Amino acid sequence: MKRYGLWKYLLIFAILGFGIIYSLPNLYAPDPAVQISYTSSSQSADSLLADRVKELIDDARFQTKIELEEDYVLVRTDSYQNQLLIKDILSSNLINDVVIALNLAPTTPKWLEDIGGSPMKLGLDLRGGVHFLMQVDTQTAIKNRQDGTLQDIRRRFREEKIRYNQANVQDDSSIFLKFNNLDALSKAEEFIIDNYSQFTYPLITNEDSLKLVLSDTEIEQIESDAIDQNLTTLRNRVNELGVSEPIVQRQGKKRIVVQLPGIQDTAEAKNILGKTATLEFHLEAQMDTPRSRKTSYPYRNGFGAPAFLQDSIILGGDQVATAQASFDENGLPQVNITLDGEGGAKMHRATRGNIGKRLGVLFVEQKTRTIYERDLEGNQIPVQESFEIKEIISLATIRAALGTTFRITGLDSPSESSELALLLRAGALAAPMTFVEERTVGPSLGADNIQAGIFSMQLGLFLVLGFILFYYRVFGIAASLALTFNIVLLVAIMSILSATLTLPGIAGIVLTVGMAVDANVLIFSRIREELKKGREPLEAIDAGYNRAFLTIWDANVTTLIVAVILLSYGTGPVKGFAITLSIGIITSMFTAIMGTRAFVNLIYGSKKDLERISI
Amino acid sequence: MSFNIDFLAWRRVALIFSSIFLIVSVSSLFLKELNYGLDFTGGTLVELSYPDSANISEIRETLVNGGFVGAQVANFGSSKEVLIKLPGTVSDSLGSEIVTLLGSVSSDQDVDLRRIEYVGPQIGSELRDDGGTAMLIALAFMMLYIAFRFQSMFAGAAVIALVHDVIIVVGIFSLIEIEFDLTVLAALLAVIGYSLNDTIVVSDRIRENIRSMESDSTEEIINTSLNQTLGRTLITSLTTLLVLFSLYLLGGELIKNFALALIFGVIIGTYSSIYIAANALVMMGLSKDHLRVEEPENADENILP
């Protein structure tokens, strides 16, 4: 029999030790906790905040531990009821510059944490929460960009004294410019070619007009900018919602995934995430403002006749640095706004020369609705269509030049003012989004799923171990140890990769348990055959392992190919299954071949003339 | 375990048996189609948990009065859990509307929201396409790998067995109207992996025996190989079925169909690796010449461990 070198034992023990240590963190149940952080990301949590929290909670006498982490204050508690109670107490007593989120705080001991140990992440189906998939309406982003460009073109045509008849953005998002005479047309064409590189050429249509069509690279750029901005904005909004460990990720070309563990009120979350509301500041149109440069808007609260505002925007919501909801001296809701430097300068310039005139604050919101269209076969098909709402929320006389800070009144309710403040703080979405998929799992189902997963794993393991111990005796002990070791190793690797464990993922582990035995069955059957042929036991063991190896290899590689295909094509539940299946296949090859071999050698390897083996 | 069964004597019976199964499966797929789950049809699903047995007809009535016509209401797992489905809907807010409606009507306040799912129409059809693509790619890769490791005849035989297994499992799902969703699709791909496992083990033995046995009769070699591997095939199928039954019984409602698909798949996969794959090799006329001098015998002798 071939000797099994010392280094192989050492390697196996090292890997076993590694597996045990890094799977350990999963045995410590997490604490229900509340985490408190400042709204503004520049301000990190300090002892001041921790003291405020301590004061509030000591009064209520909960079993808690308050810790100051890098970015937040963490209040650990012993039950889910207390967790909710504490959250309520904190949110009604702390003023609105903090975000309060429910959290499951790991209780990994310090020494494990120091060597990088952490528990597996639980998927939403196990811990409860919401999964949203949103589709970005990039068409609107393109249209918005063209609107902005058109405004710019008009202004510069005026400066350049190029006269035009008609200028608008068409349904296909191209800009249409019509001219009186060929001279203006050619001047305009030359000017556009020199100054705007984003359009394709040629520009001339119908001999008297220009059609400005965006080039493909430009469209791609706008689309990807829109998604990037939406991602940033969504991250900000999610932070405002108070969720620990949220996921906001791009998926494919036009989609964004948002996962909010622990959130139950999906209606509120959707309302905040999907809103495209922002503000625009316009001067009121004067009597002499030409019709083509002003638009009439209704009031948001429904009172008062619609008023005309100038089409040119002084500034938009993107130049708001911070916004806080509060109440004015009459107890009416208001939003205090601070502009960034550039916005302040613009506002100052615009209001300085217009004292006595009125400044309009326009509330702009993009919404989507489902309409039904008939396709070629006459079937009704749903189509998402976006539309824009623009309403005046205030129109007030400018008494002095405005600077970087001012306030907006004229809001309906405190909830509207705080929502508007939140949306202004978090930034606007570059393009509206529709929810194309939603999966919400309540906490009770999550807990049940964990239970079900653990029970089925226990039963499966028990049955399989029982069977192989009965059937293979001493070799069965080797296989059982290998199987248990396999699960430990699988969990350790999942933890280190911080892979997410889902219910199908648990199913994958259970399935691995059943299938991992296969390698040992192959080896053991081979050994039995060799014994029957009359070989010496130790030779038979050798031959069994050697001959079975290639078969095991081929069989596992093919399953691994399937798992990898699942991993790249699957979403959500399928992915969770594929992850545990692939890791399980790899770890099981190691434990079933090297692990059992080491064990068998330890037992039988030293006996020189072995007559019988128990298989 | 040692066996001496003349498997190939049964091969015509097996052929007829499989043909009947395939015909039934394919016609069921055409006539009854698959009972696609929400993942593939798109629509809204709400699962609620009541403190006591839920009154299904009352819930149905409330929903109809609330304007949710066409809602399917049924118990899910136990009499306390209720599953409400609105297939094909295109609004993402129906789920929360239903929860609000039923929460306000219910006399006791303890209606617990278990889950809401909404899948938009495009997502549904995308998931269906992706699933089909994944299946085809998996089959193609399997074929390439076996052709590379063994020989093209083995690849052909393995793929015939796989297609056989997948069609029959899907056929059973169609026949007994079990919901076909994403997890079942994942199970189906796992069936491909599993069934191939079996086929490879058998093929491996056939290859080895063709080189080492003195007999020139392919039938005899295949028969010997099947008998030699039968013990292993049965034990592995048994342990896998043990864990699958524990998943089916204890894994919860969401895993039930997944486990069921695998249970059918393992049983059929075991059968097909014996009767279909080996049968196909005989019919394709595998002979000693096909494998001669490709590799020296026992090239694997000095590999790990």
In the beta sheet, which residues pair with residue B47? Answer: B83, B115
Query: With an 8 Å Cβ cutoff, are B300 and A563 in contact?
Result: no
> Distance between CA atoms of A397 and B192, rounded to whole angstroms?
74
Interface of A with B in 370-409 (CB under 8 A): 370, 382
B146, B246, B300 member nearest A549 (Cβ): B300
Which residues, 6 or more positions from A137, have their beta carbon under 8 angstroms from its beta carbon?
Answer: A368, A384, A386, A431, A432, A433, A434
Q: CA–CA distance from B122 to each of A191, A322, A379, B128 (Å)?
A: 43, 38, 16, 10
Interface of A with B in 131-150 (CB under 8 A): 133, 135
Structure confidence at residue A443 as a pLDDT band (50, 70, 90): confident
Q: Which two tokens stand for residue A599?
A: 């064990």
- Pairwise pLDDT comparison (B266 vs A267), residue with the higher score: B266
Query: With an 8 Å Cβ cutoff, are B259 and A507 in contact?
Result: yes
Peptide bond connecting A202 to the previous residue in cis, omega within 30 degrees of 0: yes
A515 close to B (CB below 8 A): yes
Which of A369, A438, A522, A539 would you mutate first to test chain B, the one with the most B CBs within 10 A?
A438
Cβ contacts of B244 on chain A, cutoff 8 Å: 511, 514
Residue in A closest to B208 by C-alpha: A547
B228 close to A (CB below 8 A): yes
Which residues, 6 or more positions from A444, have their beta carbon under 8 angstroms from its beta carbon?
Answer: A128, B49, B112, B114
Calculate mean pLDDT across residues A558-562.
87
CA proximity to A495, closest of A108, A110, A105: A108
Highest mean pLDDT of the ranges A379-388, A430-439, B228-237, B283-292: B228-237
Cβ contacts of A545 on chain B, cutoff 8 Å: 305
Contact A456, B255 (CB under 8 A): yes
CA proximity to B47, closest of B81, B70, B22: B81
Average pLDDT, chain A: 85
Q: What is the pLDDT of residue A582?
A: 93
CA proximity to A489, closest of A582, A577, A575, A583: A583
pLDDT at A135 over 80: yes
Cβ contacts of A472 on chain B, cutoff 8 Å: none
* Residues shown for chain B: 305
Q: For chain B, give me the number of helices (H) and strands (E)?
A: 10, 4
Q: What is the pLDDT of residue A290?
A: 83
A459 close to B (CB below 8 A): yes
> Distance between CA atoms of A530 and A542, rounded to whole angstroms?
10
CA proximity to A440, closest of A198, A262, A560: A262
Cβ contacts of B117 on chain A, cutoff 8 Å: 438-440
Calculate mean pLDDT across residues A193-212.
81
pLDDT at A203 over 60: yes
A80 close to B (CB below 8 A): no
Convert the pLDDT of each residue in B239-259 to its tens digit.
Answer: 999 999 999 999 988 899 999
Query: With an 8 Å Cβ cutoff, are B240 and A511 in contact?
Result: yes
pTM summary value: 0.83
Pairing of strands A500-501, A121-122: parallel
The b/e string for A423-461 (b: 16+ C-beta within 10 A; e otherwise) is bbbbbbbbbbbbbbbbbbbbbebbebbbebbebbbebbb
B127, B133, B252 member nearest A448 (Cβ): B252
Q: What is the pLDDT of residue B304?
A: 45
Q: How far is B92 from chain A (nearest CA, A)?
A: 6
Residue in A closest to B204 by C-alpha: A551
**In whole angstroms, what separates CA A30 from the centre of its chain?**
22
ipTM above 0.95, yes or no: no
Residue in A closest to B190 by C-alpha: A562
The b/e string for B172-203 (b: 16+ C-beta within 10 A; e otherwise) is bbbbeebbbbbbbbbbbbbbbbbbbbbbbbbb
pLDDT at A558 over 70: yes
Query: With an 8 Å Cβ cutoff, are A510 and B193 in contact?
Result: no
Contact B150, B207 (CB under 8 A): yes
Q: What is the pLDDT of residue B237?
A: 93
Query: With an 8 Å Cβ cutoff, are B96 and A266 in contact?
Result: yes
